[in-house]
Amino acid sequence: MIGKRLTVLDEADRWLFRTLMLVSIYVMFRGHNAPGGGFAGGLIAGSAFVLRYLAGGVLRVRRSSIVNPTRLIGFGLVIAGVVAALPVALDEPALSSHIWKFSVPVIGDLKVVSSSLFDLGVYFLVVGVVLTVLVHLGSDPLRSEP
Amino acid sequence: MTVIVLAHFLVGSTILAVGRKGPRLAVTSGVLVLLASFVSMIALGRRDTPARDTWAWIDDLGLSIDLRLDGFATVMVLVVSGLGALILAYAASYFDHDRTFTRFAGVFVLFAGAMTGLVLSADLFTMFVFWEMTSIFSFLLIGLDDRSEKARKSALRALLTTGMGGLALLGAVALFQVGAGTTSFVDLAESPPSGALVNAALVLVLVAAFTKSAQFPFHFWLPGAMAAPTPVSAYLHSATMVKAGIVLVARMAPIFGDREFWRWSIVVCGGLTMMIGGLRALKQNDIKLLLAFGTVSQLGFMMILFGLGTPSLTYAGVAHLVAHAVFKAGLFLGVGVVDHTFGSRDITVLSGVGRRMKWLAALAAANALSMAGVIPLLGFATKEKALVGLIDADDYVGGLGFVALVAVVLGSAVTVMYTLRFFVGTFGRRSGATDSEIHHGPGWLLVGPIVLLAGISLVGGLFPGALGDLVRGPAKSLDAAAKGYLVLWPGINAAFLTSLGILVGGLVLWRVTRSRSWSRTLPISGERAYDMTYEGMLSGSRRVTAVSQTGSLVVYLVATMLVVLASLVVALARSGDLSVTGTVVADSWQQGLIVFSVCASSIALVVVRHRFVSAALLGVAGFGVAVLFALHGAPDLALTQLLVETLTLVVFLLVLRQMPRRFDAAPSWAPRAFRLGVSLVIGAAVALFSLKVFEARDAVSVGDEYAVLAKPEAGGRNIVNVILVDFRGFDTLGEITVLATAALGVVSLVRMAQRHRRFHVDGEFEHEGQVTT
């Protein structure tokens, strides 16, 4: 923790963290057709963690992320890499897009584009990077604090 | 063929992975693979047209893996696999089955695979690939005893020396590809190219061959390689790997051997190698080292035979290569038995070994006499052939043939001397010394291979015609003009008399010099030159690093800025016209306001001395830019910029709390003025450049095209996003990789700082550090 615990931050964290996470996921998915995308979504999720860090320090951030941040980076990179490389296996140029359309009973018509999956990889990676930096630079001051 | 080579790699890696559970089974499977290779290559090699496997690799560059089993390749594969099987079987009994044994067996089989691939290579590129593999496996085998510093050092030395040759070979591959359009031996032979590039390539080929085959001045790594266990020395460093350079020269000499510089370097280096190797063998007390220097000497001999490449010398070369592989491996294995049985390899310690083990002395005698070239052993017939070829070489190479002949005669006389030193020293009795004790007797696996090899040396010498017929085809596959035959009794002719002279001379010189100790060392030696180069490179690079990497952020920044400035100035100067037209001060009053605040915060940023304040001012500038993006109708950019700016600010604050609150006191005026000057100039240059760039546009904006394509091609309406994930997806992939690398960099830097503190500052912080890591 950097300074004293503040009620304002505690409350903001409690109310805003989940909201921000939801918003980040929304921003990521709408990215294909409206402003947003994996990068922006990942940054929003990252800022949710920053808020949590400011309120409760590294320990609370660690407790709220299920996976190791460094693994998250790898996970995102692998998704993006696989999505990019998969068309090569199908004898197409790398990163070719595929569009699938479904119609799901209640929700209606759904369109999935393979490049959205690529964006998902970017999202995970960006969240992982922010978390990694936060956890490592945020903890254990390199100089002792009085 | 490919299957055979791959089988080696499969079995070898399997042994490395799971061989520990059953060392006996591991060795058996390794021997079986080598035998399978031996048998199948005999079957394949009998065909009239050479078998050939070609696997395309990178078509655009003309690179492929190309294997071809012509006559010479067949002989070499038989040597590699036949001796490999014998020596691996021998090793099963030689080694204790300890932790290094399975590693030895696995790498040994891997090496055999790489060597098989090397001799099968039909082009220089394929050869290069296998060439490097053999260097690496040799490194692993020399350093098998990884707890011995000497072994590690020798392994590294061998790797660096042969690795340098590998680089030279790669250079030769590139030069041939550019200068001749092909690296295939067959294509090169069909239409021999010429020109400066080809000559440069040939020089590189010679460097590669000389390093690999331990020729002067690169001969020093081979004796060092004797740190390896004896079976390794017998196989890699006498029979197979060191022949790789010879194989390369053998392939090239018939095509390019008529160049003067080629012949001269071959004869000079080969001759010197032959002499130096032999003379240094005379100084050795360790019989294994003695044999190693003997190998160096013999390699020089073969280099001359193949390198001059006259028809009869090529033939003699192939024959002697086989003879040498047999007798030298036999001798090494004999040394292994002596070492194993009596616990020493030192001729000043050993005494009466011949009386204790008469049969071993007899077997070693057969191989040693073959090495010295005594009738009626195989080495006599092949060396005889070489002498005949050298005496006749005048017709092809003029006076150089005589030089080569003198070198070979002198070298052979020294060979006779060190053979005597080896044999008498090992098996004879020293006056006043008690006979050495037998520690534990050798098993049949240790003896069997030696019996076989000595048998080949003897029977091959008694009936040389058979071997002579066998190697004629292989010699012709190198050079269609190659000719010759081997005989037991050549009759009294010039070559025979020379041979006799060599033997008598060697014997007399040995008697005369026997009691003299050869302690004088030359002022320069290959080892010392190597060590000095190695140390020099290390300390030199340290010095360069110290000069170029000062660790001062200011220096780095100024250097970067100056480079940027130089490129901008060049670009502006080339356009010639510095006038700017059509500039609008601001599109709207909001824009003007934001630009004003961005500028104001930037100027304030330079002036303040408080770190936190400057970080905040940086944030103001960043947010201002985000608003500018939004005003220009780029919501995506604005959103991302806003978020990045927020997070950067947080990261800044996290780092800044570890640092002093204020910047360092201002340095004296001179460096300050310099920095200020650099900043102002670069600022002006960037501003001018940006303005000019907008004017200079003459191509159609790519955005229009993307806007049309976004929906049908990528199924998205947000063009920015579609560009990121689809049209320019590779860029994004690269960027996120950079991001990931940067994050990992942060992790390792923080960990390093923590570790540093835990070691260097008193225990007060120790607790903290452990909690977080």
Instruction: Give dist(CA B331, CA B486) in Å, integer.
Output: 23
- Which is nearest to B667 in space by CA: B678, B676, B655? B676
Digit-coded pLDDT (tens) for B363-415: 888 888 888 888 788 888 888 888 888 888 777 777 788 888 888 889 898 89
The number of beta carbons lying within 10 Å of the beta carbon of residue B515 is 6
Q: Count of A–B CB contacts within 8 Å?
A: 154
B650 reaches A (C-beta below 8 A): yes
Q: What is the reported pLDDT for B665?
A: 66
Dihedral sign for Cα B390, B394, B396, B400, please: positive
Q: What is the reported pLDDT for A106?
A: 65
Residue B523 has pLDDT above 60, yes or no: no
Q: What is the reported pLDDT for B170?
A: 93
Q: What is the reported pLDDT for A143?
A: 41
Q: With CB atoms and an 8 Å threshold, state whether A43 touches B640.
A: yes
Instruction: Give dist(CA A24, CA A38) in Å, integer.
Output: 9
Q: Would you place residue B521 in the very low, low, confident or very high pLDDT band (cuts 50, 70, 90)?
A: low
| Percent of chain B clearing pLDDT 90 (strictly above) | 9
Distance from CA of B10 to the nearest CA of A (A): 26
Digit-coded pLDDT (tens) for B207-234: 999 998 888 888 888 888 887 888 888 8
Backbone angles phi and psi of B582, in degrees to 5: 65, 30
Q: What is the reported pLDDT for B563?
A: 92
The number of beta carbons lying within 10 Å of the beta carbon of residue B662 is 13
Q: With CB atoms and an 8 Å threshold, state whether A144 touches B721.
A: no
Digit-coded pLDDT (tens) for B58-110: 777 778 888 888 888 888 888 899 889 988 888 888 877 666 888 888 899 99
Q: What pairing do the DSSP bridges indicate for beta strands B51-58 and B63-69?
A: antiparallel
* Arithmetic mean of pLDDT, A124-143: 79
Instruction: Look at B118-127, B547-556, B624-633, B753-762 and tell me which has the smallest mean pLDDT.
Output: B753-762
Is residue B648 classed exposed, middle or buried when 0-12, 13-18 and 19+ CB atoms within 10 A define those classes?
Answer: middle
Distance from CA of B597 to the nearest CA of A (A): 25
Q: Would you place residue A107 in the very low, low, confident or very high pLDDT band (cuts 50, 70, 90)?
A: low
Digit-coded pLDDT (tens) for B139-170: 998 888 888 888 888 888 889 888 889 999 99
B574 or A143, higher pLDDT:
B574
Angle at B193 between CA B184 and CA B185, to 5 degrees: 20
* Arithmetic mean of pLDDT, B638-660: 87
For every residue of B589-643, DSSP letters joined together read: HHHHHHHHHHHHHHHHHHH--BHHHHHHHHHHHHHHHHHHHHHTT-HHHHHHHHH
| Nearest residue of B to residue A28, measured between CA atoms | B721
| Percent of chain B clearing pLDDT 70 (strictly above) | 95
Q: Return the residue matching tokens 């003459």.
A: B698
Residue A144 has pLDDT above 50, yes or no: no
Instruction: Look at B340-354, B590-604, B608-622 and tell me which has the smallest mean pLDDT.
Output: B340-354
Q: What is the reported pLDDT for B515?
A: 66
Distance from CA of B719 to the nearest CA of A (A): 8
Distance from CA of B731 to the nearest CA of A (A): 11
Alpha carbon B473 to chain centroid distance? 32
Residue B768 has pLDDT above 70, yes or no: no
Distance from CA of A29 to the nearest CA of B (A): 11
Instruction: Give dist(CA B328, CA B292) in Å, integer.
Output: 9
Digit-coded pLDDT (tens) for B166-200: 999 999 998 988 888 888 888 888 888 888 888 89
Instruction: Look at A130-144, B54-68, B742-756 and tell me which has the smallest mean pLDDT.
Output: A130-144
Which residues in A lie closer than 8 A to residue B716 (C-beta atoms)?
Answer: 32-33, 113, 115
Instruction: Give dist(CA B536, CA B771) in Å, integer.
Output: 44
User: Where is B397: in which H helix or E strand?
Assistant: helix B394-397
Which residues in B lie closer than 8 A to residue A46 (C-beta atoms)?
Answer: 643, 647
Instruction: Give dist(CA B328, CA B234) in Å, integer.
Output: 7
Q: What is the reported pLDDT for B761?
A: 55
Q: Return the residue matching tokens 């490097």.
A: B132
Instruction: Give dist(CA B696, CA B681) in Å, integer.
Output: 22
Q: What is the reported pLDDT for A108?
A: 65
| Nearest residue of A to residue B648, measured between CA atoms | A130
> Across the interface, which of A97, A118, A122 has its CB nearest the CB of B715?
A97
Q: What separation, in Å, do the N-terminal and C-terminal C-alpha atoms of chain B show? A: 53
> Across the interface, which of B643, B725, B747 has its CB nearest the CB of A136?
B747
Say how many residues make up chain B. Answer: 773
Instruction: Give dist(CA B31, CA B45) in Å, integer.
Output: 21
Among B640, B643, B648, B728, the strongest candidate for a mutation testing the A interface, having the largest count of A CBs within 10 A, is B643
Q: Interhelix angle for B71-94 vs B464-478, to 10°? A: 120
Say how many residues make up chain A. Answer: 146
Tokens at residue B738, please? 């950079």
For every residue of B255-304, DSSP letters joined together read: HHTT-HHHHHHHHHHHHHHHHHHHHHHHH-SBHHHHHHHHHHHHHHHHHH
- Which is nearest to B471 in space by CA: B385, B552, B555, B394? B385
Q: Would you place residue B133 in the very low, low, confident or very high pLDDT band (cuts 50, 70, 90)?
A: very high
* Arithmetic mean of pLDDT, B603-618: 88
Q: What is the reported pLDDT for B766?
A: 42
Which residues in B lie closer than 8 A to residue A34 (C-beta atoms)?
Answer: 717-718
Among B residues 606-645, those touching chain A with beta carbons less than 8 Å apart: 635-636, 639-640, 643-644
Instruction: Look at B21-25, B119-123, B541-545 and tell me which has the smallest mean pLDDT.
Output: B21-25
> Across the interface, which of B725, B739, B757 has its CB nearest the CB of A125?
B739
Q: What is the reported pLDDT for B517?
A: 58
Average pLDDT over chain A, rounded to whole?
A: 80
B7 or B578, higher pLDDT:
B7
Residue B48 has pLDDT above 90, yes or no: no
Among B736, B761, B770, the strongest candidate for a mutation testing the A interface, having the largest count of A CBs within 10 A, is B736
* Arithmetic mean of pLDDT, B239-264: 87
**Cβ atoms of residues A37 and B725 within 8 Å:** yes
Q: What is the reported pLDDT for B581?
A: 73
Instruction: Give dist(CA A72, CA A135) in Å, integer.
Output: 13
- Indicate whether this model's pTM tops 0.90: no
Q: Which residues contact B608 (CB under 8 A, 6 or more apart)?
A: B614, B617
Q: What is the reported pLDDT for B71?
A: 83
* Arithmetic mean of pLDDT, B471-492: 78
Looking at residue B238, the DSSP 8-state letter turns out to be I
What are B222's strand-pairing partners? none
Q: Reduced to 3 states, what is the DSSP secondary structure of residue B233?
A: helix
Which residues in A lie closer than 8 A to residue B643 (C-beta atoms)?
Answer: 40, 43-44, 46-47
Q: What is the reported pLDDT for A105?
A: 67
A105 or B399, higher pLDDT:
B399
**Cβ atoms of residues B65 and B129 within 8 Å:** yes
Q: With CB atoms and an 8 Å threshold, state whether B739 touches A50.
A: no
> Across the interface, which of A35, A97, A126 has its CB nearest the CB of B714?
A97
Burial per residue of B277-296, b for 16 or more beta-carbon CB atoms within 10 angstroms, e otherwise: bbbbbbbbebbbbbbbbbbb
Q: What is the reported pLDDT for B770?
A: 38
Q: With CB atoms and an 8 Å threshold, state whether A133 touches B640.
A: no
* Arithmetic mean of pLDDT, A49-73: 84
What are A110's strand-pairing partners? A102
Q: What is the reported pLDDT for B738?
A: 92
Distance from CA of B61 to the nearest CA of A (A): 20
Distance from CA of A106 to the nearest CA of B (A): 23
Cis-peptide into B635, omega within 30 deg: no
Q: Would you place residue B526 in the very low, low, confident or very high pLDDT band (cuts 50, 70, 90)?
A: low
Whole-complex ipTM: 0.85
Q: What is the reported pLDDT for A146?
A: 32
